[in-house]
Amino acid sequence: MPPLRGPELPILALTLGHVFSNAVRTLPAIAADVLSRDLGLTPEGLAALTGAFPAAFALAMVPVGVGLDRWGVRRTALVLLAIGMLGSALAALAGGAAGMLVAQCVLGMGCAGALMCPMTYAARAMDAHRFALWSGIIQAVGNSGMLLSASPLALLVEWQGWRAGFWASGGLAALAFLAVAATVRQPPPARQGHRSLWQDTREILAIAASPRLRALMVFAFASFGVVLGVRGLWGGPWLMEVKGLTRVEAGHVMLLVAMALVAGPAIAGIVQRWVGRPILLMAGSHLAVAGLVLLLVAGGPGGWLSALIGVPALPAWFDAALMVAFGLVISFQILVFAQVRAAVPPEQTGRALSANNIAFFGGAAVLQALSGLAAGWGGLGAALATFAVALVVCSLGYLWLRRRA
């Protein structure tokens, strides 16, 4: 294989930040029980606490978008990775719910550019065809962080406790910081005239509300929320508390899901190039994921599928198969980035991608809070079903807005 001489190496260095982000934000899925016990949290409290991460992430997207377009990818990425390291240390040292809440907010801010930094760099350094390919590679490599927060984390939590997971995540952020400092040299884009920070901020919000992105914002609202809800929070407790798996066994299932999330973006890109029709692929994949989540719940105790088959609950291998399929199909969400890039001129790329990420993580924050309320009312099955309903609503809303455009 020839050495990487173009923008590929800096993109991969920046993508290490996305690996860190995926690892640290999905950590609660495999450590939820000990986190709740040590911090004195109810299921609703845990959902609200971990929901601070996507909420802070969404709020930070405006300054991240401004930073990417005003000061460039390198400076923005280095500042955010330093904040991510601080957040990991605060989480590892948290002595109670308040300390962990602060840590989750800091982590959310630090991870806010984890995906946008490599995406923006690639969008500026590559033509549309190569960007479509590399957007899938960035997502796939970044999703490998979920491999770390599966079986490896389960073993680490069993051995050293959940705090060790946050220290390990901080080490990964430090590695990403050094890699970015050593490889990224892309200057900030040329700017036309003098613009204030407030003008840049207003432009991001205007882009987010514009007819060009409105349908994509609705699509994104539930898209990442379901990943964070199933893989990042409720999937592990469902396997351990409902299906009776040990932490390490649940970690193995989460590892398979993470592998699907790593392979899925590449598969989605290939399928899209073969068949075209990105709108149909995006909406259809999300409706299919809603069905998979509802089947997961239906196979649990008291579920209609379990009752139909005549068993108390379907075996854990059924859940594992559905979760792997979930990881593959939800990966078609990657197609939204090419749609966003095509909707705006090059000088607005950072702002537009950041605006779309506001919907990704703002939706995740809202849905995670709602899922916590649902968990307190109807258990883990109700929490998971929250995301299925949101996927259906947002997918239909996306199609409706596309027809009106």
* pLDDT of amino acid 130: 79
Give the separation between CA 283 and CA 251, rounded to whole angstroms. Answer: 30
Asked whether residue 76 is assigned to any structural domain, the reply reads yes
Asked whether residue 190 is assigned to any structural domain, the reply reads no
Number of domains in the chain: 1
Count CA within 13 A, CB hemisphere, residue 174: 9
Higher local confidence (pLDDT), 176 or 263: 176
Q: Tell the residue number behind the tokens 């389960």, with chain if given.
A: 154
Give me the mean pLDDT over the 374-378 stretch.
88
- Kindly tell me if the per-residue pLDDT of 105 is higher than 50: yes
* pLDDT of amino acid 283: 94
- CATH number where 29 lies: 1.20.1250.20
Asked whether residue 207 is assigned to any structural domain, the reply reads yes
* Rg for the chain, CA atoms, rounded: 20
* pLDDT of amino acid 291: 97
SS3 128: helix
Higher local confidence (pLDDT), 342 or 382: 382
pLDDT in tens, 297-324: 999 998 999 999 999 999 999 999 999 9
Give the separation between CA 174 and CA 242, rounded to whole angstroms. Answer: 37
End-to-end CA distance of the chain: 45
Asked whether residue 193 is assigned to any structural domain, the reply reads no
Asked whether residue 394 is assigned to any structural domain, the reply reads yes
- Kindly tell me if the per-residue pLDDT of 189 is higher than 70: no
Asked whether residue 2 is assigned to any structural domain, the reply reads no
DSSP, residue by residue, 362-381: HHHHHHHHHHHHHHHHHHHH
Give me the mean pLDDT over the 251-270 stretch.
85
CB atoms within 10 A of CB 11: 25
Residue type, 49: L
Give the separation between CA 34 and CA 31, rounded to whole angstroms. Answer: 6
Give me the mean pLDDT over the 76-93 stretch.
95
* pLDDT of amino acid 135: 76
* pLDDT of amino acid 284: 95
Residues of the chain above pLDDT 90, percent: 36
Asked whether residue 104 is assigned to any structural domain, the reply reads yes
- Kindly tell me if the per-residue pLDDT of 50 is higher than 90: no
Asked whether residue 153 is assigned to any structural domain, the reply reads yes
* pLDDT of amino acid 262: 81
pTM for this entry: 0.76
Residues of the chain above pLDDT 70, percent: 94
Using 50, 70 and 90 to split pLDDT, how confident is the model at 26? confident
Domain that holds residue 354: 8-184+200-404
